[in-house]
Structure 1
């Protein structure tokens, strides 16, 4: 499975390194992080990382394979 996470604001390169499995791009003042998600536990782990870093996920969607 592949997912895209749209995060409010621009995140620094250092902060993006907390998500080594995801690629990132900045679009219109938001940061898109996208990449493979192995299973449901991995998905919840990513969401927990976003929350622990106070990053607001404004949209999350599964991408076509």
Structure 2
């Protein structure tokens, strides 16, 4: 499964490195994290990581394969 997770603001390199398994790009005041998610546990772990780092998730969606 491939997912896109949009978070509010521009992530610093340090914060972006917390999501080393994903690629990222900054667009329109948001940072878009995207890449392959192996299972639901991985997805929930990423969301928990966002929460623990104080990031506001604006949108999350599964991308077509």
Please report the TM-score for the alignment, with normalisation by the length of structure 1. Answer: 0.98
Pairs aligned (count): 65
Aligned to 1:12: 12
Moved over 6 A (4+): none
Matched, 1:51 2:51: yes
Please report the TM-score for the alignment, with normalisation by the length of structure 2. Answer: 0.98
CA apart distance, 1:63: 0.4
- Tell me the C-alpha RMSD between the 2 structures: 0.4
CA distance in 2, matches of 1:53, 1:3: 19
Which ranges of structure 2 fall in alignment gaps of 5 or more residues? none
Which ranges of structure 1 fall in alignment gaps of 5 or more residues? none
CA distance in 1, matches of 2:39, 2:63: 14
